[in-house]
Structure 1
Amino acid sequence: MSISPYVASIRARIGHEFLLLPGVTAVIRDGARFLLARHAHSGLWSLIGGGVEPGEEPADAVEREVLEETGARVRITGIVGAYGGQPMAVTYPNGDEVGYISIAYACELLDDATPDMEEIVELSWFSREEIARLPRRDWIDRVINDSDRDQ
């Protein structure tokens, strides 16, 4: 889903103005490799995640987002950290300005993952060295580095 009814209702009142939103991020590892998704709207690689809906627990939101975007279920194994600020700001192609405050969860993949082809057009596993060469959201480097605390 590209925009929730909740965000759409706010956008109807504020237009494209900056909106601060709670989000979640899934850090899915297979040893030293990380599952990244290439986003349709930007072509950039990032970790899988999205917004928390009103009344939704963040842990439930990360499970929902991964399922919606990849068709796969995950098991949460810990919290990597909380992130925000300028690195988490995005301007979408339609002009909507958003800043996310995201809780990153360490997750174990329970099923095969395939991109939804709406928000996510490609999924792949990458080592840190490979990630450093990808066109990506820069903030994921910090999250990936912080994920070593879980290991």
Structure 2
Amino acid sequence: MPTPDFVLDLRRFVGTRPLPLVGVTAVVLREGQVLLGRRSDNGHLTPVTGIVDPGEEPADAAVRETLEEADVVCRVERLAWVHQIPRVTYPNGDQSDYLDLTFRCTWVSGDPYPADGEMTEVGWYDVDALPELELPDMRRRIEFALRDEHAAWFEGGL
């Protein structure tokens, strides 16, 4: 997965220290199915995910990442879940703290395929018969997006 240029620029100043970043997850739904892809970096089956660029609206990032990774156009319906992902330490020692914003999205157009190489396969999966997801957190993201509630769930709090 290519690291965004702005992250590489920041790394020149902070080295491998923890870098706070905002990530998005696009849970794209179409007629009882959810869009999932197998990540090329670790082989895990996940919804579309990505990093918000500086100055970019998070919902726009979810739409952009879906188009870049799967060549699918989607529309964001609502924010479903906000949570802090435990610190990630990469093999090169870089550390990142991701605040993930999970969005419920609706398919607009496009037949999914691994457009930019970040996924090795992309397709539609029945929400009632999802395959085993290697990361339980990804299943939770889908579950929050499938809820009929219109308010977003915020993890933690006092």
TM-score, length-normalised on structure 2?
Answer: 0.81
C-alpha distance in structure 1 between counterparts of 2:80 and 2:14, whole Å: 33
Question: Are the counterparts in 2 of residues 41 and 92 from structure 1 also a CA contact under 8 Å?
Answer: no
Question: Are the counterparts in 2 of residues 41 and 93 from structure 1 also a CA contact under 8 Å?
Answer: no
Shift of 1:117: 5.0
* Structure 1 gaps, min length 5: none
Q: 1:140 to 1:52 in 2, by over 3 A?
A: same
Counterpart position of 2:155: none
Identity rate, percent: 34
Q: Which amino acid aligns with 1:7?
A: V
Give 1 or 2 for the bigger CA radius of gyration: 2
Q: 1:93 to 1:68 in 2, by over 3 A?
A: farther
C-alpha distance in structure 2 between counterparts of 1:128 and 1:20, whole Å: 35
TM-score, length-normalised on structure 1?
Answer: 0.84
Question: Are the counterparts in 2 of residues 78 and 150 from structure 1 also a CA contact under 8 Å?
Answer: no
Tell me how many residue pairs correspond in the alignment. 147
Query: In proportion to residue count, which structure has more helix?
Result: 1
SS at match of 2:147: helix
Q: 1:91 to 1:116 in 2, by over 3 A?
A: farther
C-alpha distance in structure 1 between counterparts of 2:32 and 2:72, whole Å: 20
Shift of 1:53: 0.8
CA RMSD in angstroms comes to 2.1
